[in-house]
Amino acid sequence: MKTDVGKVDGKENGTQTRKAIKRGIILRTNAIFMVPFILLWGLYVLTHGSSGPGGGFQAGVVLAAGVILYAVVFGLDRAKRDFPIKVMLLIASIGVSIYAWVGLFALFFGGNYLEYGALPIGHEPAESSELGIEMVEIGIGLTVMAIMLSIFYDFAHGRD
């Protein structure tokens, strides 16, 4: 559904058209600079979530917000081309698998489900626990990002 921003009562209004074009250029230029920083901030929140504020859920939402900004500014079709829904569903599946496998590995090595200290990935249980938490947070972040984007795609485009 296209709207004629520059037309008023069927007649071309040059001033409104120029304003719409300038606004579009300003939005695209700002988005080009903002999206990488938003994604970088999401990665920071993800990697520092165990030692400070943040974590997998918050990072996933921030990462999805960066892609949603990209979709709003550059168009839904371009966003779906650059971040396809099938890839998002694959990423969500990988995230859930990471979470599940970390828990299962803890069971295999004599601990309880998601007992990170039982994992044989560090020299001490505290180190194993820290690395296990980071792996689970990465899984959660990937899943939340992908599901938030798939929900956005569904709402923005509608279901067929």
Give the pLDDT score at 23.
Answer: 59
Segment among 41-50, 61-70, 122-131 with least mean pLDDT:
122-131
Say whether pLDDT at 24 is over 70.
yes
CA dihedral sign, ordered 130, 131, 132, 135 = positive
Query: What does the pLDDT read at residue 8?
Result: 47
Average pLDDT, the chain: 83
Residue 5 is predicted with a pLDDT of 45
List of residues 6+ apart from 125 with CB closer than 8 A: 117, 118
What's residue 160's pLDDT?
44
Residues 66 and 39: beta-carbon distance below 8 Å: yes
> Coil, strand, or helix at residue 68?
helix
pLDDT over 70 (residue 13) = no
Query: Lowest mean pLDDT: which of 4-8, 82-86, 105-109, 118-122?
Result: 4-8
Confidence band for 145, pLDDT divided at 50, 70 and 90 = very high
- What is the structure's pLDDT at 29? 87
- Mean pLDDT for 63-67 is 95
pLDDT digits 0-9 by tens, 89-137:
999 999 999 999 999 998 998 888 888 888 888 778 888 888 888 899 9
Domain boundaries, the chain: 12-157
Band (pLDDT 50/70/90 cuts) for residue 16 is low
